Amino acid sequence: MEIRDLKYLAAAASAGNFGRAAKSLGVETSTISRHIARLEDELGLALFERAKTGVHLTAGGQALMGNVNRALAEFDAVVRSAGQTGSGHVGQIRLGVRLPPVGEPLFSLLAGWRARHPNVALTISELNEPAMATALEQRRLDVGLITSFTPAGSATSMPLYVERLTAALPHDHALAARESVDWADLRDESILIQEWDDSQATRELYASLLGQSVRFSAHPASKQSVFGLVAAGFGVTLATASQAAVTVPGVVFRPIAETNACLQIELVWRPELEDAAVGRFVAYLRDETRSRRLV
């Protein structure tokens, strides 16, 4: 028994005539007749009473049609779902981020994607650099957002936008009274950083900006925890403009008046593994950031 046998059966039952059913399906009348006869043999049941005026379902055929119609409806649903998934309108995006999407432009980029693709689920995992590279390699993530100083491994990368850096200071710090600061103002401070045993990328970046003699205080913790230490007076840290958009009690953010006080954010993914939804997501971010001239 094949799904087309059920389609021929449903068409014949609806039309009451093999000829009309064949015409509606674009096949020969003999094709309908042959498949119905084979189906009756397979089921051991006469499905139609045949007469010169047409065909009518037998009692057994009528009893069968409820299940036939349900089976055809479920098959059509599978086909529609496959079509939507294959076109990228339905699916899932597993996005890894180094910086939470709490400010612009990532906030509005994700909002725009959601508005255009409401049936594509998006989940976010906040990971450090080595963990994100491993997750992409092991296919536990589809795409990731990293900073340009982070190694992308075997993944493909694409620049998306640039974030300005700010100084996060205790509210009673002497520099908090300034409109802006520069690198020289921060070099004598204790610089709090996020750092794990397997990643010193942040330390290397900060050292390239502030100098190798800077005193670092490393913490394998979230940025919010680091901000908490800043508020308590343990030191200062650097933050992106999007991170500075969030109010943190006891912390003030000041712009850094240096041309290199910025981070380039890049998208990373594995093109050979992407499905349709991931491909649409990558294309959307590429086109949006170009149209907004973010890169």
User: For 247-270, how does the pLDDT look when each residue is reduced to its tens digit (9 = 90+)?
Assistant: 999 999 999 999 999 999 999 998
- Ramachandran assignment for 26, one of left (phi > 0), alpha (psi -120 to 50 degrees), beta (any other): left
Instruction: Let me know whether 261 and 286 are in one domain.
Output: yes
Report the predicted TM-score, pTM, of the whole model to 2 decimal places: 0.65
Provide the pLDDT confidence category of residue 113 given band limits of 50, 70 and 90. Answer: very high
Select from 87, 122, 150 the last residue of a domain: 87
Q: Mean pLDDT, to the nearest integer, of 95-117?
A: 88
Instruction: Let me know whether 219 and 106 are in one domain.
Output: yes
Instruction: Let me know whether 98 and 216 are in one domain.
Output: yes
What is the C-alpha to C-alpha distance for residues 75 and 6, in angstroms, rounded to an integer? 11
Within 88-218, residue ranges assigned H as helices are 106-116, 129-137, 183-186, 201-210
For residue 152, the SS3 value is coil
Instruction: Let me know whether 99 and 19 are in one domain.
Output: no
Instruction: Let me know whether 208 and 139 are in one domain.
Output: yes
- Residue 50 has a CB neighbour count (10 Å cut-off) of 12
Tokens of 259: 């041309």
Q: What percent of the chain has pLDDT over 70?
A: 93
Higher model confidence: residue 93 or residue 86?
Answer: 93
Provide the pLDDT confidence category of residue 79 given band limits of 50, 70 and 90. Answer: low
Instruction: Let me know whether 27 and 75 are in one domain.
Output: yes
Select from 34, 64, 87 the last residue of a domain: 87
pLDDT for 124 equals: 93
Instruction: Let me know whether 24 and 79 are in one domain.
Output: yes
Instruction: Let me know whether 264 and 137 are in one domain.
Output: yes
pLDDT for 81 equals: 61
Provide the pLDDT confidence category of residue 88 given band limits of 50, 70 and 90. Answer: low
pLDDT for 80 equals: 66
Instruction: Let me know whether 183 and 213 are in one domain.
Output: yes
Indicate whether 10 pLDDT > 70: yes
pLDDT for 68 equals: 84
Q: How many domains does the chain have?
A: 2
CATH code, 217: 3.40.190.290
The residues, ordered by sequence, that sit 6+ positions from 19 with a Cβ below 8 Å of its Cβ are 29
Instruction: Let me know whether 104 and 194 are in one domain.
Output: yes
The residue range of the domain holding 69 is 3-87
Instruction: Let me know whether 67 and 96 are in one domain.
Output: no
Select from 34, 61, 87 the last residue of a domain: 87
